[in-house]
Structure 1
């Protein structure tokens, strides 16, 4: 609210205050806060008045952002200023929970030195920063390494700085948790330890999985969380994905293992929420049967991709966030399944047995496709369904500095094309063939993309 030049924003935390600022800038001042791109430089010297009072409240408590792979694809060697910019931008768009994998190697590096490994051996096991997202998912190890002591320490310091900035805004840093990832020879060095070989993942040898029901898991988990807490500070949300993309349980009881993982988390971080990625067949019903589901949040990567989804039945009423992965591999495409977002989010939220508690913005790489980011994050702050045509017309106006028939017509074509993709196959649009390797027969720019 407020008169010209004297705008008043009220909210319940620094992050929601920033969300209010974002709503004012876009809806009243008519400027764009894009990722990437910003037209804030067009603001007049005197801020325009608000007619009456502009009020927004979130329809869901969880507004989560970032994929496990984001750091690898968006820039694993950025400085704090880059992360701070992105965090502030997310806050301006209403995000309140952000995954922080930066420095995720540090608790492993310190804790495993208490379990028979030298620092040099662990630096050889830890992959380079651009591939650590897949290591944290238990898909690979050691690639693009060894890492140096200085790099491990520098990334830990950066991760702690990122987590501190999030907390200073009233946002939650979501940290990687411990669910059993260990070197393949761990059992030979630790009496009583039982590990399950995980085979290979797209050519890489996967780390072993330490049986969470065995006698060694609790001690290693306690060491991991002790180191993490001391270095990165508190967090009541921790992300872990058991048996990701082909992981095998061997003879381990999955329900019992999941229960043991959750108990170790509860011991170290009482009251913490276990964040899981909804992807392929995960999390499996057997896994969910072994945990306190009220302390779980599933960030669903497939909400807008397939038809006929019933998350309440599939996940037994476990709280989940409506999610999207609008690009894979950090592709520089434009477009998304926005029709599915607008049709499904409020419909799922209004179901009698709805377990929908959030949104989850999960592109494999960020910093592109600004319209998708703007529209998806707006879902949680609108009292009802958004009119797709009206939204894109308003987006074009603020993106380019005012209503322009040519810009509006161009964005209408984009709305009806790549931003209104059919569901059933992909959640990302076709990547440009200009991004493909030179070829006279190229039909896609990347293996994991829809065909042009």
Structure 2
């Protein structure tokens, strides 16, 4: 998707609407906002370049797993093109009756941020079209401390910051770390971490790997936080006619019966063009 044009995004938007999706992730163009803010606080272009990855590695760069590119800097022309594309994608999503999930600031900064740091203005680049923001701090990296008070303060202060920027903000977070780093994320730590968002309705958790490794039971339905039953499918965009039909029909339905805080279903696939049957079955 890093190299999609408007034609592909328009088709994707139609596909989502036709399948009944109502909360599509809309992350294109984020780098333009980051660059503008980093420049405002005094970072040089060279310092910013060490932070941004190449287009194909944005999935990792945006989650704080890597910084910089292996060959050359991320072209400013790509950054500008993605921002212009997002300005076309968002109206189309809204026109089709869907609410886009917008990127929020996750806290990852260029290494040279210690050289300059002063107040910056909050931007409203896309207008008031959504109150749902994707924000993941620990996808495949551990918190600084496992202390329960520390973990609660991380989410408490993040939640307060979101609500200061948008009083109606809803924080969408992946439950992936609770599976991928289960040795760190004990039940006590998960509960402490989630408790920082004091109003349950201000958070929406994606139980990312429900079809194979559901975490909602282990976490007791994320202590009351609304959550979505999701399937990953197609790791790394590997093509193959594969899918767990029983899991995404029987198990997904059973979860809705057992958990009162489950509010919907989601696709969190790493590729999309391999098995339309699986996507259609879940979205139906």
Scaled to the shorter chain, the TM-score interval is 0.7 to 0.9
Please show how residues 407-446 of structure 1 align to structure 2 within 5 Å. Answer: none
Q: Partners in 2 of 1:307 and 1:100 — Cα distance? A: 25
1:88-147 Cα distance to aligned partner (Å, 9 max, x none): 011111111111121111221111112220234313421111111211111111124412
Higher relative contact order (CA 8 A, sep 6+): 1
Counterpart in 1 of 2:152?
255
Distance change >3 Å, CA 143–CA 293, structure 1 → 2: farther
Distance in structure 1 (CA, Å) of the matches to 2:5 and 2:64: 26
Alpha-carbon offset, residue 337 of structure 1:
1.6
Aligned counterparts of 1:239 and 1:355: Cα–Cα separation in 2: 19
2:205 corresponds to: 298
Q: Distance in 1 between matches of 2:226 and 2:218?
A: 9
Aligned-pair CA distance for 1:231: 4.4
In the TM superposition, residue 233 of structure 1 has moved relative to its aligned partner by 5.4
Q: Give the alignment partner of residue 93 of structure 1, picking from 19, 41, 51.
A: 19
Q: Does 1:347 align with 2:254?
A: yes
User: SS state of the match for residue 142, structure 1?
Assistant: coil
Gaps of 5+ in 2: 180-184
Aligned-residue RMSD, C-alpha:
2.2
Report the count of equivalent residues: 271
Per the alignment, residue 338 of structure 1 pairs with 245
Show the counterpart of 1:21: none
Distance 2:167 2:254 in 1: 34
> Is residue 273 from structure 1 mapped to residue 199 from structure 2 by the alignment?
no
Contact 2:25 2:100 in 1 (8 A): yes
CA distance in 1, matches of 2:248, 2:276: 16
Q: 1:288 to 1:336 in 2, by over 3 A?
A: same
TM normalised by structure 1 equals 0.56
SS in structure 2 at match of 1:133: helix
Pair 1:108 & 2:34 matched:
yes
Instruction: Indicate which of 113, 121, 140 corresponds to 1:245.
Output: 140
Matches within 5 A, 1:115-130: 115-130=41-56
For structure 1, list consecutive stretches of 5 or more residues without a partner in the other structure: 1-74, 191-215, 379-452
User: Aligned pair in 2 of structure 1 residues 355, 296: CA closer, same or farther (>3 Å)?
Assistant: same
Is it true that 1:136 corresponds to 2:62 in the alignment?
Answer: yes
1:83 offset after TM fit, Å? 0.7
User: What is the deviation of 1:316?
Assistant: 0.5
Q: What is the CA-CA distance between 1:246 and the residue it aligns to?
A: 2.3
Taking the TM superposition and a 5 Å limit, the aligned residue runs for 1:1-400 are 75-144=1-70, 145-190=72-117, 219=119, 223=121, 226-227=122-123, 229-231=124-126, 234-250=129-145, 253-281=150-178, 284-291=190-197, 292-306=199-213, 310=217, 313=220, 315-351=222-258, 353-378=259-284
Give TM-score scaled by structure 2 length.
0.88
Name which one, 1 or 2, has greater alpha-carbon Rg.
1
- Distance apart, 1:268 and its partner CA: 1.5
Aligned-partner SS, 1:360? strand
Large movers: runs of 4+ above 6 Å: none
Distance 1:267 1:308 in 2: 30
Return the offset for 1:367. 2.1
